[in-house]
């Protein structure tokens, strides 16, 4: 819901309503996942289809909450809870609009560094700052190189900001791992889309795959550090 309201430029405290018929949504129709299934993915009033992104994001949020509780150090729950919340917003907005809100990324970059300085993340303030700088610069270099070769923009500014945000919470290794995993899954999805649509010029959102890479890194970072 936060992601949708960012997309629409709406206040976070406004009552939910159908974007087509504008009728307020009843409280009993706001139960995560269950309401969407019960309504068969349609607005109760006008029968406008409700995006499947709603239940997907709700399930993802629940899975991350449970995984955080069971697999991460309680000392870091608050920091990673904020981090995952920001990534969920990015996933929703980028999938739906091909845009990443800078209200999210620019606000969260300093938050990551402050949390690192306070010891609420398993990295130092210096590692957080270096991670943010690395995340932005490495994608900027890749974007410029892509433009030099293809004469088209391959990455948006939002992707650069996102990897900087990821770096501020995970450091250089986290930003690099997120980029590697995100590129891998993004390439696979891109090939599938091209195969299905036969359209090689179709744009693919990169933010969700960078976010996936960041999530995977957070839950596997101990194993990765042992390998280094």
pLDDT at 47 over 90: no
At residue 199, the pLDDT reads 78
pLDDT at 212 over 60: yes
At residue 156, the pLDDT reads 87
pTM of the model: 0.89
> Cβ neighbours of residue 104 under 8 Å, at least 6 residues apart?
6, 86, 89, 90, 93, 165
Summarised one tens digit per residue, pLDDT across range 107-127 is 999 999 999 999 999 999 999
At residue 11, the pLDDT reads 54
Identify the band that residue 45 occupies on the pLDDT scale cut at 50, 70 and 90: confident
Q: Enumerate long-range contacts of 34-38, CB under 8 Å, 24 or more apart.
A: none
At residue 168, the pLDDT reads 98
Q: Closest Cα partner for 104 from 83, 125, 77, 80?
A: 83
CA distance 182 to 195: 20
Summarised one tens digit per residue, pLDDT across range 29-42 is 778 888 889 888 88
At residue 5, the pLDDT reads 55
pLDDT at 1 over 60: no
């Amino acid at each position: 819901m936060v992601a949708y309201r960012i997309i629409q430029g709406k206040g976070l405290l406004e009552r939910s309503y159908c974007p087509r018929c504008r009728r307020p949504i009843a409280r009993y129709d706001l139960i995560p996942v269950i309401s969407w299934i019960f309504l068969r993915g349609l607005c109760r009033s006008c029968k406008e289809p409700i995006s499947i992104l709603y239940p997907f994001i709700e399930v993802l949020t629940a899975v991350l909450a449970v995984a955080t509780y069971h697999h991460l150090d309680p000392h870091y729950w608050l920091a990673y809870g904020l981090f995952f919340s920001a990534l969920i917003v990015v996933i929703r907005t980028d999938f739906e609009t091909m845009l990443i809100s800078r209200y999210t990324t620019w606000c969260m970059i300093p938050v990551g560094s402050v949390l690192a300085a306070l010891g609420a993340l398993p990295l130092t303030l210096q590692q957080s700052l270096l991670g943010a700088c690395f995340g932005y610069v490495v994608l900027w270099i890749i974007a410029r190189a892509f433009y030099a070769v293809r004469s088209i923009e391959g990455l948006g500014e939002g992707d650069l900001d996102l990897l900087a945000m990821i770096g501020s919470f995970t450091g250089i290794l986290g930003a690099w791992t997120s980029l590697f995993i995100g590129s891998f899954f993004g390439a696979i999805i891109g090939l599938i889309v091209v195969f299905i649509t036969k359209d090689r010029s179709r744009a693919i959102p990169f933010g969700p795959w960078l976010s996936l890479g960041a999530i995977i890194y957070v839950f596997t970072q101990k194993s990765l550090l042992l390998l280094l």
